[in-house]
């Protein structure tokens, strides 16, 4: 059976493609989900794609991932820079974790340069727009299906 990857998205990402296109582009979160759903099958994976504006919801989903997911791709959005709760939850997850940001956070305000999540992420992608999610999924497929 295909392994499941949780793809978790934090606050305000539901507005993607609808506001601030100069920063985050014109692709909607629903379009990113469609793109990843189409990619997952041929990669031998299943995805469970979710978005919440609530920190506790994301924590609950990370706990759920401990039982139901082989890997996590997460864009914690603004919570990246504030959330010890998400850091602590991710620490309990034993599989690979990819942290993804649409924008290059290092080109932006200083408060976006620090991530609470990066120390527990297996890898971090930022600045590649929606393609960053796809790159993370490709890597996840290699990581989860490799025999070595
Ligand atoms: O670049 C990213 O993916 C971010 O995680 C996006 C977060 C931001 O706080 C991080 O520093 C970097 C913001 C997500 C908000 O998304 C919006 C989309 C459209 C309109 C307004 C906000």
| Ligand 1: residue whose CA is nearest its atom 18 | 16
Out of 5-14, 19-28, 138-147, give the one with best mean pLDDT.
5-14
Q: What is the pLDDT of residue 144?
A: 97
pLDDT tens column, 27-66: 999 999 999 999 999 999 999 999 999 999 999 999 999 9
Taking the CA atoms of the chain, what radius of gyration do you get in angstroms?
Answer: 14
Which atom of ligand 1 has the smallest separation from the CA of 75?
Answer: 5
Mean pLDDT of the residues in the chain = 97
| Ligand 1: residue whose CA is nearest its atom 9 | 78
What tokens were used for 51? 């978005």
Which atom of ligand 1 has the smallest separation from the CA of 100?
Answer: 3
| Ligand 1: residue whose CA is nearest its atom 2 | 101
Residue entry with tokens 């890597």: 139
Residue 18 phi/psi, 5-degree rounding, is -110, -25
d(CA 39, CA 129): 16
Closest CA to 36 of 73, 63, 1, 89: 73
End-to-end CA distance of the chain: give it in Å, rounded: 19
d(CA 62, CA 83): 13
Q: What is the pLDDT of residue 20?
A: 87
Q: Give the pLDDT mean for 19-32.
A: 93
Residue 106 phi/psi, 5-degree rounding, is -80, -15
What tokens were used for 136? 């993370």
**What band does 126 get if pLDDT is binned at 50, 70 and 90?**
very high
Q: Which residue has the higher pLDDT, 22 or 30?
A: 30
**Residue 77 CA, ligand 1 centroid: distance in Å:** 5
The yes-or-no verdict on residue 148 having pLDDT over 60 is: no
Q: Which option is the CATH number for 3-145: 3.30.300.210, 3.40.120.10, 3.40.50.9100, 3.40.47.10?
A: 3.40.50.9100
Catalytic residue IDs: 24, 101
> Alpha-carbon torsion 118, 120, 56, 68, what sign?
positive
pLDDT tens column, 64-83: 999 999 999 999 999 999 99
Choose which residue among 23, 78, 98, 113 to substitute to test ligand 1 binding: the one with the highest number of ligand atoms within 8 A of its C-beta.
Answer: 78
Domain ranges of the chain: 3-145
Q: How many CA atoms lie within 13 A of 69 on its CB side?
A: 26
pTM > 0.85: yes or no: yes
């Amino acid at each position: 059976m295909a392994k499941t990857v949780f793809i978790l998205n934090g606050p305000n990402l539901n507005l993607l493609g609808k506001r601030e296109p100069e920063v985050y582009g014109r692709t909607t979160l629903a379009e990113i989900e469609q793109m990843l759903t189409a990619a997952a099958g041929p990669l031998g994976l299943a995805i469970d794609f979710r978005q919440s504006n609530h920190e506790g919801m994301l924590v609950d989903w990370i706990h759920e991932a401990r039982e139901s997911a082989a890997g996590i791709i997460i864009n914690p959005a603004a919570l990246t820079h504030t959330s010890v709760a998400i850091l602590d939850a991710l620490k309990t997850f034993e599989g690979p974790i990819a942290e993804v940001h649409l924008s290059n956070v290092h080109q932006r305000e200083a408060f976006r340069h620090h991530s609470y999540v990066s120390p527990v992420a297996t890898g971090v992608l930022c600045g590649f727009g929606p393609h960053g999610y796809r790159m993370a999924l490709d890597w996840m497929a290699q990581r989860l299906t490799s025999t070595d």
